[in-house]
Amino acid sequence: MFMRYTFLFILFFSVTSGFAQDDAMRLLQKVKAKMDRVNDYAATGKMRTDVVFIKAPVSNIRVYYKKPNRFKINRDGGISLLPKGGVSVNLNALMLTNDFTALDAGKATIAGKELRVIKLLPLQENSDVVLSTMYIDELRLLVLKTNTTTRENGTYEMEMQFGNYADYGLPDKVTFTFNTKDYKLPKGITLEFDDGSKQQQLPKNKKGRIEISYASYQVNKGVSDAMFK
């Protein structure tokens, strides 16, 4: 009797998990299909840096994307620091491969919205991404949040807000959050001006944030390869 229930449980579980896995993949495929409509885009926007050890002004940026995975953020002149493996990694690039396993991780409520949680496990052993968790608005087929762990570049979070370009799956605003504790600053070989302020050490265990607000997208109008150099 016990064995029977156990067998039934295992059967039910594998069927439902199998169903769940299929279900997750189907959702992802739908999201991907939506995003697939975008072959390329050129966008303008503003980038805000909120990292405790970086003082950077709000800068005007241009963002370029071309299928399948070419993505570039260019500042309009000046110097910029972008955390590696995060902002430079585009969602499309992540999803527009089939080299992952999707696992249904249930649901979560974020900002009063119920979102489907799906975990992506890359199949390739040499993939930099170890695990990526996506929070998807099932109704609108939009990824509102991702939490990605990488081999080389730590863990980061991306939150998307959609508006005018939701139909293309292109966000109005992307907030990229990452850990700063492992970052090292250039070796100081010259004296520094001590203005008496208390903070003179690299702060530890703080999170950094980079926020990109897109003003406009030019979708599928063609983007030259030279833009990605």
CA dist., res. 167 & res. 97, Å (int):
21
| Cα–chain center distance at 66 | 17
Beta bridge mates, 158: 146, 176
Q: Single out the residue of 190, 205, 222, 229 in contact with another protein (rule: CB under 8 A).
A: 190
Name the residue nearer to another protein (CB basis): 30 or 151.
151
For the CB of residue 57, give the shortest distance to another protein in the complex, in Å: 4
Select the residue interacting with another protein from 199, 222, 226, 229 (CB under 8 A): 199
Q: What is the DSSP code (8-state) at residue 148?
A: E
> Which residue reads 């833009």 in tokens?
227
* Minimum gap (Å) between residue 115 Cβ and another protein: 26
Query: Residues 33, 58, 123, 215: which binds another protein (CB under 8 A)?
Result: 58
Q: Residue 152 is encoded by which pair of tokens?
A: 């080389």
Q: Which is nearer to another protein, 2 or 193 (CB)?
A: 193
Would you count residue 196 as binding another protein (CB under 8 A)?
A: yes
Answer yes or no: are the C-beta atoms of 80 and 59 closer than 8 Å.
yes
Stretch 91-130: interaction string toward another protein, x if CB under 8 A: ----------------------------------------
Residue 10: CB atoms within 10 Å: 10
Q: How far apart are CA 179 and CA 160, in angstroms?
A: 19
Verify binding: residue 193, another protein, rule CB under 8 A. Answer: yes
Query: Which residues pair with residue 100 across a beta bridge?
Result: 122
User: How many CA atoms lie less than 13 Å away from 2 in the CB half-sphere?
Assistant: 0
Is 185 a binder of another protein (CB under 8 A)? yes
Task: Count residues near another protein (CB under 8 A).
Answer: 46
Q: Find, among 165, 160, 131, the residue nearest to 144 by Cα.
A: 160
- Applying CB under 8 A, does 215 fall inside the site for another protein? no
Residues that bind another protein (CB under 8 A): 48-59, 73-75, 77-84, 88, 153, 182-188, 190-197, 199-203, 209
